[in-house]
């Protein structure tokens, strides 16, 4: 099989690499370019090998997974070294026209996954910028191994997806800090037990959401008239918690748009 090369081997690359390996992709078919010693050590432990642009491997895809500030240089470097590289950029914010203004010899795809790829539970948005249909199909095949894919019809939707889904896991971790604090107390500081309880709660929520009920219907399955849940939800409503939560997401979407204008 041709190689999949992750350019940048940090959080999102590691999550996808672990997910791809557990879905059956062979470790030797995944390579990485990374300068950070800590990340190199983690990648070596996972069992994937380092790639060098000078060695002309047969590469199926370069997956760009560096921070936005490093993305254009990394993209340019690939395009100088390869004739018609297939590049999937997972970088938030940077629009295709920025890449294509630097070099237009690549088959370019943009993708936005999240770290749940590690458990094959990612939601990944993909948009075909300048790749062939056959290459795009292969890209969809790769990312569907680590979760669900959503094919976007407009690049502008990438910013919304980034704010909602790319950043999404962190919002839930943030909200769950309340649970962490309170359950930790009940479990006399036992963090393992606390995480188990939170994990089970979330898995239960996740499985319930597969029942094809909307969120209000799901709330009804828990709440009863004048009960504890109703009291809690009433207080959230009076504090306009949903408004605040949505404002946070809107700020993330705005930031995604800003990043594309800064680079």
Ligand X SMILES: NC(=O)c1ccc[n+]([C@@H]2O[C@H](COP(=O)([O-])OP(=O)(O)OC[C@H]3O[C@@H](n4cnc5c(N)ncnc54)[C@H](OP(=O)(O)O)[C@@H]3O)[C@@H](O)[C@H]2O)c1
Contacts with ligand X by CB under 6 A lie at 8-13, 33-36, 39, 65-68, 70, 74, 90-92, 112-115, 166
Provide, rounded to whole angstroms, the least separation between the CB of residue 48 and ligand X. 14
C-beta closer to ligand X: residue 15 or 183: 15
Whether the CB-CB separation of 136 and 35 falls below 8 Å is answered with no
Query: In DSSP terms, which residues pair with 88 in a beta bridge?
Result: 63, 109
C-beta closer to ligand X: residue 125 or 183: 125
* Number of neighbours of residue 50 by Cβ within 10 angstroms: 12
Provide, rounded to whole angstroms, the least separation between the CB of residue 192 and ligand X. 24
Spatial separation of the C-alpha atoms in residues 223 and 232, rounded to whole Å: 10
C-beta closer to ligand X: residue 169 or 184: 169
Backbone φ and ψ of 159, nearest 5°: -65, -40
C-beta closer to ligand X: residue 103 or 187: 103
> Helix/strand/coil (H, E, C) string of 178-194?
HHHHHHHHHCCCCHHHH
Provide, rounded to whole angstroms, the least separation between the CB of residue 88 and ligand X. 11
Provide, rounded to whole angstroms, the least separation between the CB of residue 32 and ligand X. 9
C-beta closer to ligand X: residue 11 or 156: 11
Question: What distance lies between CA 150 and its chain's CA centroid?
Answer: 12
> Measuring CA to CA, which residue among 69, 59, 60 is closest to residue 8?
69
Spatial separation of the C-alpha atoms in residues 158 and 164, rounded to whole Å: 10
Residue the block writes with tokens 């709330």: 219
Provide, rounded to whole angstroms, the least separation between the CB of residue 222 and ligand X. 30
Provide, rounded to whole angstroms, the least separation between the CB of residue 13 and ligand X. 6
- For the CA atoms of 195, 197, 203, 206, what is the dihedral angle to 10 degrees? -100
Pull the structure tokens for residue 136.
Answer: 């795009």
Provide, rounded to whole angstroms, the least separation between the CB of residue 67 and ligand X. 5
| Nearest residue relative to ligand X (C-beta) | 10
C-beta closer to ligand X: residue 146 or 183: 146
C-beta closer to ligand X: residue 112 or 252: 112
How distant, in Å, are the alpha carbons of 32, 118, 227 from that of 77? 14, 28, 61
């Amino acid at each position: 099989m041709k190689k999949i090369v992750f350019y940048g081997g940090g959080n999102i690359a590691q999550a996808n690499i672990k997910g791809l390996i557990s879905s059956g992709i062979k470790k030797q078919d995944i390579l990485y370019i990374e300068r950070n010693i800590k990340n190199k050590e983690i990648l070596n432990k996972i069992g994937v090998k380092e790639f060098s642009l000078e060695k002309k491997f047969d590469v199926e895809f370069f997956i760009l997974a560096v921070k936005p500030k490093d993305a254009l240089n990394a993209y340019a470097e690939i395009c100088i070294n390869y004739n018609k590289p297939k590049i999937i950029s997972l970088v938030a914010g940077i629009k295709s026209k920025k890449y294509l203004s630097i070099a237009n010899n690549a088959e370019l795809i943009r993708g936005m996954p999240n770290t749940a790829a590690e458990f094959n539970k990612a939601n990944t948005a993909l948009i075909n910028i300048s790749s062939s249909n056959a290459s795009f199909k292969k890209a969809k095949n790769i990312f569907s191994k680590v979760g669900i894919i959503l094919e976007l019809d407009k690049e502008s939707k990438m910013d919304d997806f980034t704010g909602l889904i790319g950043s999404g896991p962190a919002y839930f971790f943030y909200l769950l800090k309340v649970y962490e604090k309170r359950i930790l107390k009940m479990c006399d500081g036992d963090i393992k037990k606390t995480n188990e309880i939170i994990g089970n709660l979330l898995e239960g929520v996740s499985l319930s959401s597969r029942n094809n009920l909307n969120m209000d219907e799901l709330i009804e399955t828990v709440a009863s008239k004048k009960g504890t849940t109703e009291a809690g939800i009433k207080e959230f409503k009076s504090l306009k918690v949903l408004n605040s939560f949505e404002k946070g997401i809107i700020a993330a979407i705005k930031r995604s748009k800003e990043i594309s204008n800064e680079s």
